[in-house]
Structure 1
Amino acid sequence: MRFMVMVKATKDSEAGVMPTQEDFAAMGAFNEELIQAGVMEAGEGLHPSARGVRVVFSGKDRYVLDGPFAATNELVAGFWIWKCASLQDAIAWVKKCPNPMRTDSEIEIRQIFSAEDFGEALTPELRAQEERQRQEIQSRAG
């Protein structure tokens, strides 16, 4: 199973407060442990929402909302993509994580859909297309 593990934003992260050298070292050690265990597939931090936008879809119309966005506790400050045997395994890894913020913080774990989750709606042709796209992405990242 694959999971997106999201570090929720805080007032500090939204204000652009950067991690300390000690914070980077602790998170680097944790990431190294994830990599050595074959869990971590990707992980990045995100700039504050003040530097982001949202594209809103309404029928055929699209419009752009500039950040910053309200409800800081609903924003994402960073993420990982992990491969774990179960949600319980992902929870166990998060419990080992150093606090990603200098204040109280939250990490949200969400399972990523796999092709099997979509049943008959994802036809063999669409599955083949998706697989070709994944291979193209991997070859470009290469």
Structure 2
Amino acid sequence: MAKYMLIMRATDETWANMSKVSFDEMLETMGRFNEELIKAGVLLAAEGLDDASQGVVVDFSGETPVVTDGPYGETKELFGGFYLLDVASKEEAVEWAKKLPAFPGSKCEIRRVPTIDEFPQDNEWIIKERAWRERTGQL
């Protein structure tokens, strides 16, 4: 099994289409999909994000970090939420992504999440992280 993150990307078209649906209807639709993932035993986490205008950006382009309010980049570059799945393959992650109840204009980026076992096990920071993961029940 491998972890894959499904990153939900929205465009102006997506937001316009979302505004036509009641919040309760949206929760119902997403809830049914989430329940399907849970029943299949593949859902590890799923979260939506607050409106990008409520966020901040920390820019490391200069000598010192600069913090600015609001979204960074164009609307099409922002993501609005994610699913973290534990599936057998990238192909299975793609099949789940194709079932997402997404609005027209949405895109879903799929990225594998490497495991701690893929890093040099004799590295002191990996050893410390592994110990932390064991203490917190993540391994």
What is residue 131 of structure 1 aligned with on the other side?
A: 130
Is 2:68 the counterpart of 1:29? no
Shift of 1:111: 0.7
> Under a length normalisation based on structure 2, what TM-score does the superposition of the two structures give?
0.80
Alignment of 1:41-120 (within 5 A): 41-58=44-61, 61-99=64-102, 101=103, 103-118=104-119, 120=120
The gaps in structure 2 that reach 5 residues or longer are: none
Q: 1:110 to 1:92 in 2, by over 3 A?
A: same
Shift of 1:127: 2.8
User: Secondary structure of the equivalent of 1:61?
Assistant: coil
Shift of 1:131: 2.0
Per-residue displacement from partner, 1:44-83 (whole Å, max 9, x unpaired)? Answer: 1111211111112247521112213331111110111111
Q: 4+ residue stretches of structure 1 with deviation over 3 A?
A: 16-19, 135-139
* In structure 2, C-alpha distance between the alignment counterparts of 1:125 and 1:92, rounded to whole Å: 38
User: Secondary structure of the equivalent of 2:65?
Assistant: strand
* In structure 1, C-alpha distance between the alignment counterparts of 2:33 and 2:70, rounded to whole Å: 31
Shift of 1:112: 0.8
| Number of aligned residues | 134
| Matched AA of 2:36 | E
User: Secondary structure of the equivalent of 1:3?
Assistant: strand
* In structure 1, C-alpha distance between the alignment counterparts of 2:38 and 2:80, rounded to whole Å: 21
Larger CA deviation: 50-59 vs 38-47: 50-59
